[in-house]
Structure 1
């Protein structure tokens, strides 16, 4: 395996897992007060554009990485934008024991 593939793999793991702690915290606490909607909106648009770029190139690593990041960041943004009474229902569906 060449160095570029190793670096790309490490970048994929770092990028995709970076959103997991925030998503899990939102599910557990149902609290999104400290999250910036503007920042996540820009992030979602960025990942959507990267995903589109990957699709246009047919580059599977870009497609997979940015698809996962898009889903996670869009979930966090959606939870931020949901009315307070809607958050518990979504969180309960994702973490019934929580």
Structure 2
């Protein structure tokens, strides 16, 4: 693999992993008060567009990375916009011990 491919792989990995801690924190704490819905709205839109771009080019690294980021960011946005009852139900399903 050349330098550009390694850079791309590490960038994709870092981008993908960056949303996991926030999603897990939302599940564990069930709190989203300090999360910006507008920021996550733009983030979800951006990842959806990047995924579409990857599909248009048939570039699997772009598709996979951005689709995973899209799902994680959309989950966080969903939890942000949901009433507390729904947050609790979702968190209980994902982490019953929480």
Q: Unpaired segments of 5 or more residues in structure 2?
A: none
Task: Please give the root-mean-square deviation of Cα atoms over the aligned residues, in Å.
Answer: 0.5
Q: How many residues align?
A: 98
Partner in structure 2 of residue 30 of structure 1: 30
Greater helix percent: which structure? 2
Partner in structure 2 of residue 80 of structure 1: 80
TM-score by length of 2: 0.98
Partner in structure 2 of residue 8 of structure 1: 8
TM-score by length of 1: 0.98
Q: Tell me how far apart the structure 2 counterparts of residues 40 and 22 of structure 1 sit (CA, whole Å).
A: 12
Q: Unpaired segments of 5 or more residues in structure 1?
A: none
Query: Following TM superposition, where does structure 1 have runs of at least 4 consecutive aligned residues deviating by more than 4 angstroms?
Result: none
